[in-house]
Amino acid sequence: MFGIKSTSAKRLDVAIKLATAEIARIATANANDPRVVEARTLLGNAEEAHAAGRVEQGWQCLKAAQRPLWHFADLSALEAEARALLATAKDAGVGMTPWRAKAIVDSLEPQFAAGVNRQEAVMRPLVIGARRLLDDYLDNNYIRLSALRRRLGWLSFASAVALALWAIFPPLDMRAPTPPATALGKQLVKTPELFWASVMLAGAIGSLISTFTSAVSAIGARSKIPEEINAVTITLSRLLLAALSATALVLFVVSGLHTVVQASYELVLSLALIAGFSDRLLMAALEKTK
């Protein structure tokens, strides 16, 4: 969005370059091998998806392109990959589905038992099979991430339209708060459009304060799905949610449904600022998406 790449897109860019170099190295002696041709085709698909901004599809194609390359790996490389796959399957923080994790462990762990003479012919299909299980799990995550990105985009668009219409055509039958006592309040009471725009701006400011604090606290945290979404997408969604919350809260206060002592314009803007912290609800929901 706006030409700013997400963390996932930047990582994909580097991964594609590394895979390109690896395929070129293998192709020097195996240019016509069907597995090399397959890898090149899938890598091309990954590059096209990446260029079109479909990051999740790019990762899926890249992972598929890398699997055939294990047919050309030596025993030491296969052993290293097998150990990495075992560690991943046993790491509860990865969140892999239990049956996939168990299948990887059951297939690879016996190869590292004492006295086992590991051979390329045995290790290669085991590593490729385990790699496919892990890639299938990651593919499911990419699909969920893509769907989440689309939902945030549509919700942000709908929220922006609703807020713009509300600010341009504010309800005319709203009961105004207590007459203003300050210059700010007197200016706001003259122009309903300015009043509602100020409410939304106050909510957005509250969200910005919340965004700064959460950004600082997130330093050093483990990578989660929210970090894979473009930062602009997340920030825009948070700001719009805060503006919606501020508008809803002020609408409730000034509607007369609830009596607030001295419900002045100044108090209303203060409440709108506080409502801006509701953007944390979005982050809390995203953090649950593992």
Residue 85 neighbours by CB distance under 10 Å? 21
Reported as a single tens digit per residue, the pLDDT across 219-278 is 444 444 444 555 566 667 777 777 777 776 666 666 555 555 555 666 666 676 666 666
Q: Same domain, yes or no, for 226 and 112?
A: no
Reported as a single tens digit per residue, the pLDDT across 133-153 is 999 988 888 887 777 777 777
Where in the sequence is the domain holding 68, given as residue range(s)? 7-142
Nearest residue to 155 via CA among 243, 215, 284 = 243
Number of domains present in the structure of the chain:
2
Q: Same domain, yes or no, for 110 and 174?
A: no
Global confidence as pTM: 0.62
159 is a domain residue? no
120 is a domain residue? yes
Q: Same domain, yes or no, for 175 and 120?
A: no
